[in-house]
Amino acid sequence: AQSVTQLDSQVPVFEEAPVELRCNYSSSVSVYLFWYVQYPNQGLQLLLKYLSGSTLVKGINGFEAEFNKSQTSFHLRKPSVHISDTAEYFCAVSPFGQAGTALIFGKGTTLSVSS
């Protein structure tokens, strides 16, 4: 079975500051990894995904994440945030080789960007 732990429930930052949202996972098999963003009263939108290959993954809106197999982590980063990045962020996993299997989500991190 897989599980996901998002280490911070809330992250407040000032505009133009860097940010890191932390995600650890647990799994007995290899996994695919994802970050989703949810704006108020909206569904989830895929930010980026790691399937294989380079451990540094770039996504939309200037976000990137790095897969660290030894630390079972997949932290999300952005060098300079904007007010519009204020949203909920979810880390998710699915077992490798089982494409389409239901994603397992962390509890989410609220990113609040202020001026």
Partner 1 sequence: EADIYQTPRYLVIGTGKKITLECSQTMGHDKMYWYQQDPGMELHLIHYSYGVNSTEKGDLSSESTVSRIRTEHFPLTLESARPSHTSQYLCASSGTANTEAFFGQGTRLTVV
Binding site for partner 1 (CB under 8 A): 32, 34, 36, 38, 41-46, 49, 51, 88, 90, 94, 99-100, 102-103, 105, 107-108, 110
Residue 16 Cβ vs partner 1, minimum distance, rounded to whole Å: 26
Q: Which of 14, 20, 21 is nearest to 108 (CA)?
A: 21
Residue 101 Cβ vs partner 1, minimum distance, rounded to whole Å: 8
Report DSSP letters for 30-94, one per residue.
-EEEEEEEE-TT--EEEEEEE-SS-SEEE-GGG-EEEEETTTTEEEEEESS--GGG-EEEEEEEE
How far does Cα 70 stand from its chain's mean position?
18
Residue number, 71 or 100, with CB nearest to partner 1: 100
Residue number, 42 or 114, with CB nearest to partner 1: 42
Residue 70 Cβ vs partner 1, minimum distance, rounded to whole Å: 23
